[in-house]
Amino acid sequence: MTRIGLAAAGLGMAALLTACGGGDDFTDQSGQKIADASKKAMKGLDAVKVAGTVTTDGQEIAIDVQTNDQGDCTGSLGVGGGTTELLGVDGDVWFRPDEAFWRASAPDSADQVIAAVGDKWVAVSSSDDSFGEFCDIDDLLDELISSDGDEDKTYSVKEVVEVDGDDAVPVDQKDDDGLSTGYVLVDEPHYLVKIEKTEGDDTGSVTFSEFDEDFDVTAPPEGDVISLDDLEG
């Protein structure tokens, strides 16, 4: 089975969220300082919802996942015209793909896998982080906002706009990977609410919402689960 991975790091989020903080009027600060305030706020989250679509290596990936710091998650991923439900409870992770997803991610063995799995949930091995990274907020945000650190970057702060009813300041960041725009809440906490990449190899748009909101998850019944190790055996 091919590893989906997050791919959203290609949106340039890493570079947007690395810098120095400070200043009195938030929107009058440099792009680097605004970015650092956003990084600090995002790193303090206990739960968040991530949604959007990115294109990497010519393949479009749709993400709609809510996750927290307890190893819980719920949502879906889409690739190749297919979709898989995703569920995590206390660090245990399951996914339940449709046929189109199997044919896109495991084309050589799709018929065999589809017949074996049916509509059961597939338990993810603890050694496989293909889906597990979506079910831990620290892993997810580390993947999204880790810094390359060495690239030359230029920042520019744009006029405040409204994103889902809240004022946000757009910060453009341009480097060798292309052009990205991060939208940071003007009011504290200065969460990143949206990131877009319009130029470069990997383009797309991702939103962040439902900050620190609780959500309910329930593990699937044992009889509705099949092991990924069994499928690969």
Cα–Cα distances in Å, from 118 out to 1, 97, 225? Answer: 17, 9, 10
Confidence of residue 198 (pLDDT cuts 50, 70, 90): confident
What is the percent of the chain where pLDDT is above 90? 58
Which pLDDT tens digit goes with each residue over 122-143? 998 766 777 888 898 988 887 7
Strands 178-185 and 192-199, by their bridges, are antiparallel
Identify the pLDDT of residue 148. Answer: 54
Identify the pLDDT of residue 127. Answer: 64
Identify the pLDDT of residue 176. Answer: 81
How many angstroms separate the CA atoms of 151 and 129, rounded?
A: 28
pLDDT exceeds 80 at position 82: yes
pLDDT exceeds 70 at position 2: no
Lowest mean pLDDT among 106-110, 128-132, 177-181: 128-132
> What is this structure's pTM?
0.84
Q: What domains are defined for the chain?
A: 8-232 (2.50.20.20)
